[in-house]
Amino acid sequence: MKPLLKRVLNITKKMIIGFILLSFLIVLLLRWITPFGSMLMVERKLTHWNITQQRTWKDWNQISDHIKIAVIAAEDQKFANHWGFDFKAINHALQHNQNNKKIRGASTISQQVAKNIFLWPSRSWVRKGFESLFTLEIELLWSKQRTLEIYLNSVEWGEGIFGIEAASQYYFKVSAKKLTPYQASLLAATLPNPRKWNPANPNVHIQKKAQWIRNQMNNLGGKNYLRQLN
C-alpha cells in the first residue's frame, strides 16, 4: 500500500509542477501576444449561445487615458503600488461579509484579469487558489500598464459586450480613444454589475457613483497617475 501511495504522491507532485510551469509560460507569452479572448467570454457564450459577442482589441495608446484612470479610481486605487493583492481591502470585505447577506468583493484589477482571462466564474476556494497563482505570475511577468491594457480589453460591459472599444461604440458611438471623463466615469460606475446597469442611461445611483469616481480621478492626480504604470 505504501509504494502505491508514494507513486500517487509523486504523480500528483509532477502534475502540480507541470501545471505551474505551463501557466507560467502562458502568462509570459501574453506579455506580448494579444489574448484571443477570455474564459469569461467562453462561459458567457456557453450559457447565452444566441447572443453575438462584441470585442475589438485596442492597444494602450488607442485607449483614452480617462477610462484608464476611471477604472483605477473605481476598482483599485492602490493598483500602481500593490503586488496583486490589497490585503487591507480583503480584511474589510471579510468583516463585512460575516455580518451581511450582500457579499462584498475585494479583488484588485490584477486578480480580475487572472479570473477573467484564465479561469471559470465561481466563488470556490479552489478557484481562488488558481486565481492567486495567476495573479502572482501576472505581477511578476507583466508591467502594470500591460495588466491594465488587457483588463480594459477583456472586461465585460454588458450582455455580449467585452472590452472598452465595444463598450464605447455601443453606448456612446465613439472610439475608446475619444471617451470623455464623464463617459469614462459612467462606464467605470457600472462595472460591479455591467449586465444590469446602462452607462448611457444611468439611474440616480450610477450618476452619483460616476460623480464620486470623477472626484477620485482628480484626487489620484488624473493622467499623472498613469506614469507610475510604465
What is the reported pLDDT for 90? 65
Q: How confident is the model at residue 168 (pLDDT cuts 50, 70, 90)?
A: very high
pLDDT beyond 60 at 97: no
For residue 222, the model assigns a pLDDT of 87
Higher-confidence residue of 97 and 114: namely 114
Residue type, 131: E
User: pLDDT by residue (tens digit) across 173-196?
Assistant: 999 999 999 999 999 999 989 999
> C-alpha cell of 195?
449586465
User: Mean pLDDT across the stretch 199-218?
Assistant: 97
With a cut of 80, say whether residue 65 has pLDDT above it: yes
Backbone phi and psi for residue 16, each to the nearest 5 degrees, phi listed first: -65, -45
Burial class (CB in 10 A: 0-12, 13-18, 19+), 3: exposed
Mean pLDDT score, 150-155: 97
Residue 11 confidence class, pLDDT cut points 50, 70, 90: confident
- Specify whether the CB–CB gap between 144 and 228 falls below 8 A: yes
- pTM for this model (two decimals): 0.91
